Amino acid sequence: MQALLDQEGCNIRLVCSHRLHAAANFKARRNFVPVFKTKKIDFSEWKQFLISRQISRLFLLGFMRIVPADFINSFRPHILNLHPSLLPLYPGLEAIESSFQEKAPMGVTVHQVIPEMDAGDAVVQSLVFEPKDILEDFNRSSLMMTFREHYVVRRVGEKWN
């Protein structure tokens, strides 16, 4: 989120969050971007709200939930997701942990969201570590993944504006 907010000319019109105290909410407000918060995810409510605000493109960042096909199809092909692995390797949760433990290539993917989880076409993939280069310390490896996520999000944001 911060990577997009820092980008000159980036047109973020709304942040939706089910995590009431997420850092993205505070960052958005600091940049005068409205925040729609709800404790429970009601996709039909979110869909109506987004349509009423004429929001047609969505970028899912840190949104680790299964999104219903009806919601996805309402915004397709304009929903992207950031995933912390080189898809199709390690879809779903704990992708960083799995690739680290298995000493597999580590990287990030931004992909089109389709009803099948983490199965949409890749828009951008970026390798962070080859297996021989993976750091011994998981926390340092994870931090390097975060830095690469910010870089990739900025690249995609530049193309999407």
Buried b (16+ CB within 10 A) or exposed e, 121-151: eebbeeebbeeeebeeeeeebeeebeebbbe
Q: Which of 81, 104, 103 is nearest to 156 (CA)?
A: 81
Identity of residue 32? F
3 touches 158 (CB < 8 A): no
The catalytic residues are 83
CB burial of residue 43 (10 Å; 0-12, 13-18, 19+)? middle
